[in-house]
């Protein structure tokens, strides 16, 4: 077995172990990501609260003014009004397409009554964590595959050059040197 073949075999064996080793590492990062996101959600739920708001206008889409299809769910915006800390406030918020003035929607407020985004749900946090874990694994595996391909290409070039040299020396008599 030539050195190039041994190198490729070693790279395949190392690659299998590397890809398998990345599974628990990616899972650990995903778990840590989920824990961090869950703590952030719990902190937001402790300080933010939902409140009903009334649409003061029909929902509208971007600049075209034509209604958008139902998917994705929130493609329209509308001006809403709510009361917080004894003050009436208004803001433009995402709404479902087709909502009409006078309908009630839920908005999330900070302790000062300012509008904030709704906290992420547990399933959204889980989806993000799984995406992070899969992204790490795919990136690491793809990186190793790219490294393997580069090593394979270099080894193939060296092996081909060696075979060419041996082929050229095959029909020469021993001790015959041609410059």
pLDDT in tens, 80-94: 998 888 888 888 888
| pLDDT for residue 131 is more than 80 | yes
Opening angle at CA 81, ends 76 and 40, nearest 5: 75
| Rounded percentage of the chain residues whose pLDDT exceeds 70 | 88
Mean pLDDT of 161-176: 77
Contacts for 177 with CB less than 8 Å, ≥ 6 apart: none
If you average pLDDT over every residue of the chain, what do you get? 86
Residue 101 near residue 79, CB atoms below 8 Å: no
Mean pLDDT of 59-71: 55
CA distances, 119 to each of 36, 112, 125, 167, 175 (Å) = 13, 17, 10, 70, 82
| pLDDT for residue 169 is more than 80 | no
Of 24 and 110, more confident: 24
pLDDT in tens, 14-33: 999 999 999 999 999 999 99
Distance from C-alpha of 58 to C-alpha of 98, rounded to nearest angstrom = 7
Token pair listed for 170 = 């095959």
What's the predicted TM-score (pTM) here?
Answer: 0.71
Strand bridging mode 87-95 / 76-84: antiparallel
| pLDDT for residue 68 is more than 50 | no
pLDDT class of 66 with cuts at 50, 70, 90: very low
CA distances, 135 to each of 3, 33, 100, 127, 171 (Å) = 34, 12, 41, 12, 55
pLDDT at 65: 46
Give the start-to-end residue ranges of the domains of the chain.
1-48+119-166, 49-118
| pLDDT for residue 148 is more than 80 | yes
Phi, psi dihedral angles at 91 (to 5 degrees):
-160, 160
Mean pLDDT of 126-143: 97
Distance from C-alpha of 2 to C-alpha of 21, rounded to nearest angstrom = 29
């Amino acid at each position: 077995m030539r050195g190039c073949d041994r190198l490729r075999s070693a790279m395949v064996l190392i690659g299998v172990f590397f890809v398998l080793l990345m599974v628990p590492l990616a899972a650990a990062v995903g778990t840590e990501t989920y824990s961090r996101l869950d703590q952030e959600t719990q902190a937001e739920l402790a300080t933010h609260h939902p409140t009903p708001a009334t649409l003061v206008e029909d929902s509208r889409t971007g600049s075209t003014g034509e209604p958008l299809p139902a998917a994705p769910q929130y493609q329209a915006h509308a001006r809403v009004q709510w009361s917080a800390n004894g003050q009436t406030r208004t803001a433009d918020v995402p709404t479902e397409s087709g909502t009409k003035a006078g309908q009630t929607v839920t908005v999330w407020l900070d302790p000062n009554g300012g509008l904030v985004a709704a906290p992420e749900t547990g399933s959204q946090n889980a989806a993000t964590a799984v995406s992070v874990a899969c992204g790490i694994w795919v990136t690491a595996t793809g990186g190793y595959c790219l490294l393997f391909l580069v090593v394979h290409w270099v080894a193939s070039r060296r092996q081909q050059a060696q075979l060419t040299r041996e082929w050229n020396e095959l029909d020469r008599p021993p001790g015959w040197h041609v410059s």
